[in-house]
Amino acid sequence: MEIIYHGHSCVQLNANGKSLVIDPFLRGNPQAVTKPEDILVNAVLLTHAHTDHILDAESIARVNAAPIVAIHELATFFSWKGLETRGMNLGGTMDLGFAKIKMIQAFHSSGIILDDEKRIIYGGMPAGYIVTAEGFTILHAGDTCLYGDMKMIGDRHDIDVAFIPIGDCFTMGPDDALQAAEWFGAKTVVPIHYDTFAPIKQDSIQFVKRLEERGFAGRVMAPGERLSL
C-alpha cells in the first residue's frame, strides 16, 4: 500500500492497483503541491460537508468517473449534481472492491455554508473512516474532538497508520490528540488538519516528539509526501 498526504486532511491511498482519496482540498490550500486534475482515483471519500474537506470532490469525482462515498445526506447532495454516489452511515461498512471501509463516528459539525445566500445546507453527521486493504488498516479520524470510544475502536482494530487532527480551535488540539493516539494504539500516527490557516497553527514536530516520549511512533508528512507500507 502507498499513502500520499496532500496536506490539511487530504489523504490518498493506493492499493490493489486502484486508489481512493479522502477529503480532497487542494485549490484552497496554499500548502498543497498537487492540483485536483492530477488526482487519479477510483473513489472519493468525504468525512463531512465543510468546504476545507469537499472543495475538490466534485471535480475529481467527475473527471475520474469515481463515486463519492459519504454520509447519506452529503451523498444525496452530490447525487443532485449528477454524480455517482454511495451513501452510508455511522457504523456501516462498504466493500469498494479494492478496499473495505468502515464509517466511524466523529464529533464535529457538518454543513455547506452558502455565504451569498446566508444559508446553510445540513450535511449529515460528521465521520471518520477505517480503511482495510492489502492486509493493512488505516484510520482517518476526520474532524473531531476527543471521545472515549476511541479506545474501543483501538481495542477492536489493529491500526497500522492513524491520521489524527491536531489543529485545535476547530478540532482537538495536540494534548487531546496525544490521548487519542494512545487510545487508537496505531503503529504510526500522522498529524493532520494543522497549519493551513492561522487559527490552527501547530508544532507538528513537537507533537511527534511528545508521542515518542510516550512510546508511540509518529511521523510528520509534508504535502505531496508518500509513505509505503
Convert the pLDDT of each residue in 23-46 to its tens digit: 999 999 999 999 999 999 999 999
pTM (2 d.p.):
0.97
Tell me the pLDDT band of 62, cut-offs 50, 70 and 90.
very high
pLDDT level of residue 196 (50, 70, 90 thresholds): very high
Arithmetic mean of pLDDT, 116-136: 97
Residues 6+ apart with CB under 8 A from 9: 22, 23, 25, 47, 52, 53, 140, 142, 143, 163, 165, 192, 193
Average pLDDT over residues 146-169: 98
| Over residues 85-103, mean pLDDT | 98
Domains delineated in the chain: 2-220 (3.60.15.10)
Whole-number pLDDT of residue 118: 97
Nearest Cα residue to 126 out of 181, 170, 191, 166: 170
Q: What is the overall mean pLDDT for the chain?
A: 98
Give which of 40, 31, 47, 36 is closest to 13, Cα–Cα: 40
- Average pLDDT of 101-130? 97
pLDDT, mean of residues 145-150: 98
pLDDT for the residue numbered 140: 99
